[in-house]
Every structure is written in C-alpha cells, then in structure tokens.
A and B are shown apart, each in its own frame.
Chain A
Amino acid sequence: MVSLILMGIFTPWLKQVRQQLNFLTVPFYQVTDIPRRIGEWGNSAFSSEKDLRAENERLKIEVLIYQRKQQQMAALAAENVRLRQLLNGKDMLQDRVLIAELIGISPNPLSHIVIINRGSREGVYEGQPVLDAFGLMGQIVEVDENTSRVLLISDSSHAIPVQVNRNGVRAIAEGTGDLNRLSLRHVSINADIREGDILVSSGLGERFPVGYPVAEVEQVVRNSGQAFARVIARPMARLDRSRHVLLVFDTHAQLDDQGSSSLTPESP
C-alpha cells in the first residue's frame, strides 16, 4: 500500500490506470449533482413573468453596452494588428472558447480542484486554461472522456507567470492554499508594484494566453531587512462562486502540448 502511494506521487505510472478507472467515479458525481439541478430547474420553472421581464430588460441594456464596446474593440483590434505588422510581430489570434459547467468540488480540503462537465470528447486537453467571467481561474490537470479536473490558481502547488498591467513588471503568482490570496514570488524590493495594480497573465510560461486578468494586488509589504517584497494579491476570478467557466483553446499551446505530455503544473 505504501509503495502504491509512493508510486502514485513520484512516478507517472499510475496515471494511465487512473484514467482507465475514472469512468467508475462519474455516476457518483452525477448523483451528487442532482440537488443542484433540481434547484436550477426550480428557479427556471417558478420564476414569475415580472421577474423575467425585468431580467430581459436588463439583459437588453447590457447587450447594448457590450455592442458599443465591441464596435470600439473591432477598431482597436484592427489597429493592433496593423501596429504588430509594422513591428514584424505575430498577430494575435482570436481564441476559441468552450463553455463548461462546474459539477463538483474536490473533497480534499488541501487541494483546490474543481470538476467540470467537459472532457476529451469536446477536445479538452491537459494544461488548458480555464476562465470565468472575471478572470483566470486555473488550468486542466486531468482529462476524462466527459469530465475533467481543474487546478485553481489558488492551489498551493500552482504558479502562474503574470505582469503588472500598468507597467509590465513581470512576476510569478503562486497559490497559497487560501482562495482569496495569491503571493508574488521573488519581487525585488524596489519593483514598481502598488496596491490596486491589476496583474494579467504574461504568457511567458507558454501555457496561459497573454492578457487575461489574474489578480489585483492587495497588499505590498516592503521590509528593508529582506531581499524581496511580500506582495499579496486577490484573484479576480470568483473561484468559489462561478458556476459557468470558459475553456480557452489556444492553437499554439495545443500543438505544443501534444508533443510533451508533462503533468506538472507550471512551476517557477
């Protein structure tokens, strides 16, 4: 039994076995999902006409606002492409996305892993970035036929390369095991990072796409006796509240990933 545990931790041999056996776990998660489905069905079946009308109005207004932004975006994107061509850079591709739904949370309190209802059948792959409406949530670590597991950015074994949106200072944001805190690793004491700065993914690890918001700097402690500043940031994504998540298909990453199927999440 002990050797089984050690093998599971330090070698990838059991990975295959797990993936083969994972189908056994699916019915359990489907059953535990039933109360939520009933709740959702109740919500949609018993909402009054007045509420629906109000919601409809609100959504129409939101669509209008977003359409205006979209118009601006189109112009900006075109300009961006032109400028990039001037600089001989690659033009940014529009990422393809897939919407998934949360169906479970890992019961292990030490790990921040959630389970979503998309798997290899929909083309989900290991290392794929996962977002919600507010920012980056994490990455896929285990893919099954119909479900997959997402390691959240707040997990203590996860780290993600970021940059400050304001000035491009680069850093690595590590999970702390606390849902509302990330800590930046090895930030020099005179780096220009302030409270309230938005950290976006820098794309340097070639795993996450560039430019998605990750966290907002909450606290910077500069102690002149220490080599590095202590920077605490709060994830933008609602890690414990989002029900619907987006899976981003990054065409480059997908091709690269198939070559090397490394299992470990990005480490600094």
Chain B
Amino acid sequence: MIPHQWTAYLVIIISFVVALLLAVYPLPMGLRWWRPELVLLVSIYWISVFPLSMSLLFLCCIGLYQDLLEGVPLGQHGLSVVIVSYICILSYQRVRNFAVWKEAGWVFVLVGLAQLPGNWVQSMSGRPLAGLYFLAPALTSALIWPFLRMLLDSLNRHYRIT
C-alpha cells in the first residue's frame, strides 16, 4: 500500500463520493424503497480490503454527511455505518474465505442490520414503518454486491492499491 498511498486515498474517497451521489439521485417515489445502500456497501468493501487501516471515525463522518444530504436526523446513518463496520472489522478473516454468493448473503444480513437503527429513528420521529419493506434495500444491496465487488476489485487492481 505504501508506494501508491495517495492514489489509494483518492480512489477510496472518489468511490465514496460516487456512492453518496447515487444515494441521493432522485428516483420515482415508488422505487425509493429499492435503492441499495451503496455507501454502506462501499464501506464494507474497503474494510474487507483494509481491515486494519480504515478509520471508524472517517466512516462515521461519511455516515453523518449522508444524514445531512438526505435530511434525516443527524446520526442515523452514522450509527448504522459504525455498527456494521465494527462487525466487519471483527469478522473480516472469516468473511474473506466466503464464496461470492455466501458473501452476498452476509451483506444482506449486514444491510438489514443497518436498516434497524434507521427505522427506529424514523419511527421515533413519527413515521410508522410499512411492514417488512425495510428489508428491500438489503435485498437489492445483496443482489448488486457481486457486481460492485467486481467493479471495485478491478479498480483496486488497476491502481494497484493493495
């Protein structure tokens, strides 16, 4: 990582910026439930690549910035990103040996877990939840995970980050 440190930083930050852009890209009202949690996915990916040097504080700031962008109570995404990243850091050695489909299942669990605090926050601010819909982003996230992984892996190889 040492010889190309600056490109590594740049690629990581750009990937987060793109994820944030897609997180607020306007979708039709009915489709908004199915928007994958790209910011979370990107942070899961970079943690699996740099389990020891990704900073939780940095990820937390990204989450807070996403809150600001989306206009939800500050800390909603911050909290869920930190929880998920912590779990990822604890479990990266095991997850590295997973097959892709198994990894996607793991991502489903993680994103579903991340939805929970978000939904608690939303219901505290008076917006009742519509059934199991809150798992929809987890499902789409798991479905696009293999492709996202391929994309980021190729970026990773191209810029020789690891």
Contact = CB atoms under 8 A, between A and B. Distances in A.
Partners in one complex: yes
A146 to B, nearest CB: 15
A142 B69 CA distance: 13
Interface residues on B, range: 35 or more
B29 interface: yes
Contact of A4 (B21, B29, B75, B129): B75
A71 interface: no
Nearest to A31: B21
A11 to B, nearest CB: 11
Contacts of A118: none
A177 B21 contact: no
Interface string A82-111: 000000000000000000000011111111
A156 B126 contact: yes
Given A1-B60, A1-B78, A149 B71 contact: yes
Contacts of A25: 68-69
Interface string A23-41: 0110011011000100000
B27 interface: yes
Interface string B68-82: 111111111011001
A240 interface: yes
B122 interface: yes
A21 B25 CA distance: 20
Contact of B75 (A5, A29, A105, A109): A5
Contacts of B128: 156, 177
A240 B69 CA distance: 20
A113 interface: yes
Interface string A133-166: 0000000001000000100000111000000000
Contact of A9 (B60, B71, B79, B121): B121
Interface string B29-73: 100110100000000000000000000000010000100111111
Nearest to B22: A32
B75 A18 contact: no
Contacts of B127: 110-111, 155-157, 177
Contacts of B124: 9
Contacts, number: 94
Given A156-B126, A156-B127, A157-B127, A104 B24 contact: yes
Nearest to A152: B29
Instruction: Give the dominant DSSP class at B's interface.
Output: helix
B73 A142 contact: no
B23 interface: yes
A22 interface: yes
Q: Which of A1, A25, A105, A111 has the most CB of B within 10 A?
A: A1
Interface of B: 20-21, 23-29, 32-33, 35, 60, 65, 68-76, 78-79, 82, 121-122, 124-130, 133
28 contacts: A1-B60, A1-B78, A4-B74, A4-B78, A5-B74, A5-B79, A8-B73, A9-B121, A9-B124, A9-B125, A17-B74, A21-B68, A24-B68, A25-B68, A32-B25, A106-B70, A106-B71, A108-B71, A108-B72, A110-B122, A111-B122, A142-B71, A155-B127, A156-B126, A156-B128, A157-B127, A177-B128, A240-B28
